[in-house]
């Protein structure tokens, strides 16, 4: 009995376990609401498995769907999805903290520890102030995006519908969710050559993927005239990955999916696919028609993802930069990883290696399982698995045709990707104990 008492005693839960269970409860409740007839445009009940899959995709800000968002769900269902996206993007603990601050409740030490884990921060110092900034930045950016989208789409549809579309897609794109209302899984393919739609969407995706710490640094830059090491690495890696991704898409798809587009359209589409692969999930070209070389490069972009503490997924650009820095240091015979004249602690490299290896192991295991349960080409299965883990939402069209077992596997991947493999390991593993001794150093031949 004492074991079960400890299991359900929330005060004894570690922050990772609290986060995992909190997200799980939100997903199960969201799935229950989405399965109700009121959530369907036709007044029919959605299978609970499919509803939970969709709730997982929304809460984990992914965008993979088994039914079309724009045509299947009623306005009520779409609003529920929007709330799940916002909660999932900012984090349920962030939302709960905001309500507590409005009600002038005190934020306890335990709650600050959970917030630190949720926001992936190195310390609790200034965590409540960061939450306030997160809310202000999110509201301001989403409102600006919604207004600009409304102005553009008011040319194509009634102003009320344009405003609704503007709000929905601004929230979806800023939170890197990838859900859209254009129907028939078309996403933004109709606007492939529209500069305004492309630039607004890309700006929202990039801002959401930079992370709130970087956004705060950028806003403070006019006064401070300096950026943190974290912000410098995130901005540099983001720029490098976006440009290299655009060049690769342009080169591989010039005579394929980009063929029907004009010169400006080709450039816009190349950059948009590069940006959206950083865990956004919207697309302006048919993903299922991409060459295998393009799909493979997009898989790499999805796996890397965006910045820590953002609305995006993947192993994160800082993790990838640390790995690259480690390789560079080893090749040049250096002992330290140095960025912008700052040395990284060895623990950073070990954490980066751990996150990457756990992610690769999880992706490999689920890909092999899906190859058994699904009758599809390997590249499509691999693409869908990485898209789910990195909470991207791009799809070659496999997700709606998944078996029940496949849907469970992909839903688990989205859940693991949103929380992070290391957080899951901490939540599910036994409580660590301090080592009282060290073993003698051994010799091992490497390479």
pTM: 0.86
Q: What is the pLDDT of residue 5?
A: 41
Q: How does residue 419 score in pLDDT terms, banded at 50, 70 and 90?
A: confident
Q: Could you count the other beta carbons within 10 Å of the beta carbon of residue 429?
A: 11
CB 249 within 8 A of CB 273: yes
Which residues share a beta bridge with 345? none
Mean pLDDT of 308-319: 85
Q: Where are the domains of the chain?
A: 10-427
Kindly write down the DSSP assignment for every residue of 202-239, as one continuous string. Answer: HHHHHHHHH-HHHHHHHHHHHHH----HHHHHHHHHHH
Phi, psi of 344 (to 5 degrees): -90, 140
Q: Could you count the other beta carbons within 10 Å of the beta carbon of residue 341?
A: 6
**Spatial separation of the C-alpha atoms in residues 392 and 65, rounded to whole Å:** 12
Contacts of 127 (CB under 8 A, 6+ apart): 112, 115, 116, 119, 121
Mean pLDDT of 306-331: 87
**111 or 322: which carries more pLDDT confidence?**
322
Reported as a single tens digit per residue, the pLDDT across 168-212 is 999 999 988 888 898 777 788 889 899 999 999 999 999 988 887
The single-letter DSSP state of residue 266 is H
**Spatial separation of the C-alpha atoms in residues 377 and 383, rounded to whole Å:** 10
Q: How does residue 3 score in pLDDT terms, banded at 50, 70 and 90?
A: very low
């Amino acid at each position: 009995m004492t074991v079960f008492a400890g299991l359900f005693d929330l005060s004894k839960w570690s922050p990772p376990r609290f986060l995992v269970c909190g997200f799980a409860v939100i997903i199960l409740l969201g799935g229950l609401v989405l399965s109700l007839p009121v959530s369907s445009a036709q007044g029919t009940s959605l299978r609970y498995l499919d509803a939970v899959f969709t709730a997982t995709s929304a809460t984990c800000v992914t965008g993979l769907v088994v039914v079309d968002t724009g045509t299947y769900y009623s306005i009520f269902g779409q609003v529920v999805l929007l709330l799940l996206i916002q909660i999932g993007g900012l984090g349920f603990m962030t939302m709960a903290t905001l309500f507590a601050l409005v009600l002038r409740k005190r934020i306890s030490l335990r709650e600050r520890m959970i917030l630190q884990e949720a926001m992936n921060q190195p310390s609790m110092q200034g965590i409540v102030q960061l939450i306030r900034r997160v809310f202000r930045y999110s509201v301001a950016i989403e409102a600006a995006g919604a207004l600009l989208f409304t102005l553009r789409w008011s040319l194509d549809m009634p102003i009320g519908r344009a405003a609704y579309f503007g709000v929905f897609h601004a929230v979806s794109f800023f939170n890197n969710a990838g859900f859209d209302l254009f129907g028939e899984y078309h996403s933004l393919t109709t606007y492939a050559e529209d500069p305004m739609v492309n630039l607004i969407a890309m700006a929202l995706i990039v801002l959401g993927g930079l992370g709130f710490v970087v956004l705060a640094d950028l806003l403070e830059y006019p006064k401070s005239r300096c950026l943190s090491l974290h912000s410098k690495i995130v901005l540099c890696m983001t720029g490098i990955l976006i440009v290299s991704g655009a060049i690769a898409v342009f080169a591989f798809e010039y005579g394929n999916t980009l063929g029907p587009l004009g010169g400006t359209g080709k450039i816009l589409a190349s950059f948009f696919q590069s940006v959206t692969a950083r865990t956004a999930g919207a697309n302006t070209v048919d993903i299922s028609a991409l060459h295998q070389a393009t799909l493979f490069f997009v898989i790499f972009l999805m796996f890397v993802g965006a910045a820590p503490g953002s609305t995006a997924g993947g192993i994160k650009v800082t993790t990838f930069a640390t790995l690259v820095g480690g390789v560079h240091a080893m090749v040049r015979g250096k002992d330290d990883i140095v960025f912008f004249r700052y040395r990284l602690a060895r623990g950073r490299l070990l954490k980066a290696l751990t996150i990457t290896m756990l992610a690769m192991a999880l992706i490999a295991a689920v890909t092999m399982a899906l190859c058994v349960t699904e009758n599809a080409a390997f590249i499509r299965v691999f693409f869908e698995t990485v898209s789910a883990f990195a909470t991207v939402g791009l799809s070659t069209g496999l997700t709606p045709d998944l078996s029940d077992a496949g849907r469970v596997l992909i839903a688990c991947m989205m859940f693991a990707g949103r929380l992070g493999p290391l957080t899951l390991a901490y939540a599910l593993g036994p409580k660590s104990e301090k080592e009282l001794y060290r073993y003698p150093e051994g010799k091992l031949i490497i390479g």
